[in-house]
Structure 1
Amino acid sequence: MNAPMQTAKINDTTEQAVRSELLAPRFYRTDYESVGKIDIEPVRHQWDAMMEEYKEDRNRGHFRQEFDYDATTLTSDPELHEEFIDFLTSSITAEYSGCVLYQEIKKNIDNPEIADLMGYMARDESRHAGFINKALKQLGVAVDLGFLKRQKEYTFFRPKFIYYATYLSEKIGYARYITIYRHLEKHPEQRFHPIFNWFMEWCNDEFRHGESFALMMRAQPELLRGHNKLWIRFFILAVYSTMYVRDHNRPKLYEALGMDPTEFDYRVFDITTAITQQVFPLSLNTDDPRLRRGLERLRIISAKVSVAKERGGILGRLKAAGLSASAGLVFARLYCLPMKHHELPEDFRMEPTW
C-alpha cells in the first residue's frame, strides 16, 4: 500500500503528478516473471541491430545541454502559463512512469537480453524526465520525482497490456514530438519555449522504444491473433480518445504554437496508424465521421464532468457519475465501429521518416 499523500510538503506540480485521474498518466506494475520468459530468437536479426543502436547511445550528450529562459514570457499570459505547466507535468509523469517500470522489470527478471533492453530504455526515460524537470525548475515548479515514485498509485497490468499500451504510447509520443518539431521549423516565431528545440532527438528515442516493444510482440505472435485483437482494438481507441480529450483541454497552448488541436491530433493519428501497421493487424479508420463525432462527444462530456466536479456536493457527484456513464456508452459505440485490417509485413523494423 502507498503511504498517505503529504501534500503540505510538496508543490502543486508534484501533487498534480501524484494525483490519480482518468486522463492522467499512470504508473504500472506487471508480471515480471512472464516478461522475463520472452524468447527473442524469432526476431534475433532485428533485435541485435536495435541493441547496437542502444549501445551507441547517439543522444548521450543531447540532454546534458543547458538553455536559458525568461519565465516572464509565460507569466504574462496566465492561461498559457497554466496549460504549459500542465503539459510539462503530464509529460514528466509519463516519461518517469516508463523509467520506473523499465527499472522494475530489469530488477526482477533473469533474462539478460530483456534486462539489458529495459536498462537502456530506463536510461533514456530518466534523461527525458530530468530534462523536463529543468524546464519546470526554471518556472519554479519542479516535480519531486522521488516523492512521485513513492506516492503515486500503481496499476497492475498483465504483460500483454503493457506491450499494447506502451507500444502505442511510445509511437504516439514520437508522432506528437515530430509533428510539433516540424511545425516549429516552419514557424520559429511560435517557438515560445526552448524545450521544443530538443524534440527531434527526443522523438527518435521514443521511436526506438516503440520498436523495442514491436519486436517483443512479434517474438510472441500469439499476442497479435485471435481474441487478443479485441484488446488491441480497445487500447488503440483508449489511447487515441485520451489524447484527443486531453489536447482539447489546452486551447491556449496550441494557440500559442499556432496549431489547431483537432488538426494536430488527426495528423498524429495518421502517423501513428501508419507506423503501428507493422505490428498490429488492425487500425482505426480515423476518417470515419462517426469516429470523429464520437471523439468530439467524449470531449464535450469530459468538459461537463469537470464542471460537475467543481460544483461538488451530492448533485455535482451525481451529475459527474451520469456523465461518466454517458461517456462509457459513447466509447462502447466507438469500439464497435469497423476497423481496418492489415497483413503483417515480414520486414517490420522501421526508421523514423516523418
Structure 2
Amino acid sequence: MKVVTGGKYENLDEAHSAFLFPEYGKNREELLEFVRALKGDETIVTASLELIDLLAGKFRKGEENVLIYSDTGKALTLKEVYELRKYLDFDVRGGFSGEESRVSVLFVEGKTDAKFFKAVFKKLFELKESREVPQNLMFIERVFERDNFDLLKRASDETYVAVIPSEGNSGVIRNLGNFIRAMEVFNFSVNRIGAAVDIDEDRESALQAIEGKLAQVGAEKGRAGYKVGMTEVVPLVIGLPFEDELIEWKKPTVEDLMLHLIEREGLLGRIKPALSVLNESLGRKLTPKEVMYLALSAYGHWGNLEGFYELFVMRSRFRNLKAILREAGLMDGLERLAFWERKAGTSRAGRR
C-alpha cells in the first residue's frame, strides 16, 4: 500500500497510476467500505486525515506499506504514520511552511510528569503558557479540550518549549524516534528534543534505551551530547530515592521528586500523623502515590493529581526546587532545553 499526500503529488511517478480518492462528501461508512475493498497493492492520493487513519490502521504491518509526502518525496511507514497520529495527533498531510522559531520539545511519561515539568519551566525559566503555536509545531494539532500537550513561551527571546506526555518509558522512546523521522520527511526542525524516562532498573539501561532509538535514526554522539542534523537530543533520567519508615519506595518515578519537594516545603511533616495511622491500619507502608493523595487533601487542593503537582511546584520555594533537581541530575538538561544559548559557567535559572 502506498498513500500519497502533500501539495506536489502530480510530480511523483507513483501518482500517475494512483487512485485519486474523492474524499469530499464521503461519510465514515463510505470510507470504511472503500478501505475494506482494498487489497493492499494500490496507490492512493488523498488529503483526508480520516482516510489516512483508516489506511494506516489496516496496513500498518509491513515495511512496504508507506505514506509518501510529495512535497519532499520522502516516506514514512504506515506503522510510523499510525503511531504519529495516535500518540501525537500529528498532521501527516504536511503543508505547513514559514519561518521557524526557537523550539524545544520534551517528551515525558505521562500527564503527572508533564504537569510537573511544565511547572518547573514556568517557575525557574520565566516561561509562560502560550496559545500562539510556532510554525515548527504546527504539525502537532492543538486540542485544548483534550489537553494533549503543554506549550510555553518566553517573550524575552521568543523561545518555545512543548511538554508532551507519552505512555510510559516505551512511549517516550517511541515518540522520540517517530518525531525525529517526521522532521526528516516533512522538512521541519526543532532546536532541542528532551526525552525524560524513569531509571527503572538502573541509569545505564535507561540511557541505552534512548541511545538505541537514536542510533536507529542516525543520531551522532559528541562530547556535548547527541545530534540529529541540527537538532540536539537531551536525555533526562529521573530517579532520586526517598527513604522513610512509613513510605514504601520501590523504583524511581517523578513521585520521588515530589516527595522530596513536599518534605523540604514542610508538608510531609504535617501529614506524618495521618501516615502513621494509615500505616498501622493497613498493616503496610504507603506507596508514594498514596502519600501524594494525602498531601493533596492536606494542601486543600480538590482537583486531580496533575493539578496538584503543577500548583505545588509553582508555590514551592525557588531554592528547594532547584536543589532537588540538581540532586537528581536534571538541572543541566532542563536548562539546556529552556534556553537558546548559555554562557559557560553560568546558570540561567538565577540565584533566588
TM-score normalized by the length of structure 2: 0.25
Q: Greater Rg, structure 1 or structure 2?
A: 2
Greater share of residues in strand? 2
TM-score normalized by the length of structure 1: 0.25
Greater share of residues in helix? 1
